[in-house]
Amino acid sequence: MKTKNIEIVVAPREPHYVGDGFRVHNFIPSGYRLDMERMDPFILLDYNSPFYFPPTDRPRGVSVHPHRGFETVTIAYQGKVAHHDSSGNSGVIGVGDVQWMTAASGILHKEYHEEQFSKEGGYFQMVQLWVNLPAKYKMSAPKYQGITNSQINKYPLEDGMGVVEVIAGNYGNVTGAASTFSPVNMFNARLEEGGKAGFDFPATYNTALLVVAGEIHVNGTQTVAENHFVLFENEGEHFSVEATKKAIVLILSGEPLNEPIAAQGPFVMNTREEISQAIRDYNLGKFGYLEE
Amino acid sequence: MQNFTKYLKAKSNIEEPDFQQLIKKVSFKSIEKGEILLRSGEVCKHSFFVENGLLRSYTVDGAGKEHIIQFGSENWIVSDRSSAFFNEPSDLFIDAIEDTQVVLISSDFINEASELSSSFRNYNQIALQNHIRHQQKRINLLLSASAERRYMNFIKLYPDLTLRVPQWMIASYLGITPESLSRVRKELAHKNFKPN
């Protein structure tokens, strides 16, 4: 099996706020060479690196907004988020949990820091990803997978040097907790210092990682620091990650959909006409209703 | 100034050398969200063509409440035409709702473009008439239309602004309370939402 080399290491950009509760570095699609086509099917990655939010009685967050045409995946590393959507789903995403929301034909949702967390204040650290849907599923029914950490299957590394949490896809004999509409692998590798894990994905899959905590060596040589994002070449299948400091690494690899992308704000479709339709449908209440 | 150049070329038949001279007479400005381009009491010296981003014009009443007159997104022009024409202090504020790049168009520019190009002169006339027509319709809607009709009109005129502008600003533009706007949207959802 051929080694998969790093194509580029991307440093975090200046953070910006999404609503008033998410202070994020955007990697996909605005990062250098990390546009939607290159990263397909991963079309957005916002990373809220650890940030202290002081106590407040009014939870911070993002008010009601729509989505259509893709899935949002929220991975909580620190802090808690409360979520409500127009399909009547609601829940709290706590440390280590994952929320996988299939917006598909359309959903309204809002995301706020959980009430108690807001009152106490604290460090907040999250990843939000948008995973594109194949054209034939873009208008399917919305659904919601709230996945607690205990529901995520874990692959233990040798000598207790860590675990690979399989959020989606497969690692070794372990299958991911989330169901997906196209082949997607999404893992959290939690590595002790010196812990090492190898990963194998088809060369054609778009593959990347984010160092959420610690510091790693990739393929034995290249050092990647905390908060940095690695895009791999579409050649070779195998790479290895070794923690030079105790680390958490988000690993992403997905089969590109290779379909046209038309994106505007919270809608990602295949054509401009479908975007206009999404805007019309949203304005006319066809996404339902959700109280602010 | 890609959008402005495209816009001006579409509206005028000015020969390239003249066009290059003329385009020098406009200036370009990047402003941040919240930055003010015109304050009430000042004379409006420019029309603001939005290259990208979003502007609004509004008045502030005695109680400090804002009333939005107009939004202007990409390829729109926001101005106080009467203040500019009559050289009178404006009642309006103009500021940016998003980080915005604007082209500043002076009356000198408009006069010169009108001299150089009959099609620009003609366009400017039509734009003025359009502006009057729009204002008349807007007065009529504000005086006589239900909240729902005002909203339906708004989403036709500014389809994507519901995604870019907070609810209270849309309510302000429509001359209704944010609660009424919520009610209208709720009723529309009740009527049009079909879960699949």
pLDDT: is B102 or A87 the higher one?
B102
Whether the per-residue pLDDT at B196 is higher than 80: the answer is: no
Contacts of B191 in chain A (CB under 8 A): 285
Beta bridge partners, A110, equal: A84
Reference A78, options A91, A96, A60; nearest CA is: A96
Nearest Cα of chain A lies from the Cα of B91 at a distance, in angstroms, of: 31
What is the Cα–Cα distance from B192 to A286, expressed in whole angstroms? 5
Mean pLDDT, residues B82-99: 96
Question: Is B74 among the domain residues?
Answer: yes
Beta bridge partners, B89, equal: B43
pLDDT digits 0-9 by tens, A269-289: 999 999 999 999 999 999 999
The pLDDT assigned to B66 comes to 96
Give the chain B residue whose CA is nearest to the CA of A88. Answer: B195
The full set of domain ranges for chain A reads: 6-254
Angle at which helices B107-116 and B118-144 pack, to 10 degrees? 130
Q: What is the CATH number of the domain that holds B39?
A: 2.60.120.10
Question: Is B139 among the domain residues?
Answer: no
pLDDT digits 0-9 by tens, A152-186: 999 999 999 999 999 999 999 999 999 999 999 99
Write down the mean pLDDT value for chain A.
96
Instruction: Tell if the CB–CB gap between B188 and A284 is shorter than 8 Å.
Output: yes
Reference A129, options A86, A184, A88; nearest CA is: A184
Instruction: Tell if the CB–CB gap between B196 and A66 is shorter than 8 Å.
Output: no
Mean pLDDT, residues A10-19: 95
Range of B10's domain?
A: 2-116
pLDDT band at A99 (very low <50, low <70, confident <90, very high): very high
pLDDT digits 0-9 by tens, B12-34: 878 888 888 888 889 999 999 99
Domain A6-254: assigned CATH number: 2.60.120.10
pLDDT band at A1 (very low <50, low <70, confident <90, very high): confident
Structure-block tokens of residue B156: 């036709």
Q: Yes or no: say if B50 and B78 are a contact pair by the CB < 8 Å rule.
A: yes
Q: In one letter, which amino acid is A235?
A: E
The pLDDT assigned to A182 comes to 98
Q: Which residue has the tokens 């406009």?
A: B26
Reference A268, options A127, A38, A45, A71; nearest CA is: A71
Q: What is the count of structural domains for chain B?
A: 1
Reference B159, options A278, A103, A108; nearest CA is: A278
pLDDT digits 0-9 by tens, A205-243: 999 999 999 999 999 989 999 999 999 999 999 999 999
The pLDDT assigned to A168 comes to 98
This model of the complex carries an ipTM of 0.87
What is the Cα–Cα distance from A225 to A221, expressed in whole angstroms? 13
Beta strands (DSSP E) in chain B are 27-31, 36-38, 46-52, 55-60, 66-72, 77-78, 93-96, 100-106
Instruction: Tell if the CB–CB gap between B182 and A292 is shorter than 8 Å.
Output: yes
pLDDT: is A87 or A188 the higher one?
A188
Contacts of A268 in chain B (CB under 8 A): none
The pLDDT assigned to B19 comes to 85
Instruction: Tell if the CB–CB gap between A289 and B185 is shorter than 8 Å.
Output: yes
What is the Cα–Cα distance from A12 to A26, expressed in whole angstroms? 7
A264, A286, A289: residue with CB nearest B186: A289
Q: State the Rg of chain A over Cα.
A: 18
pLDDT digits 0-9 by tens, B158-171: 999 999 999 999 99
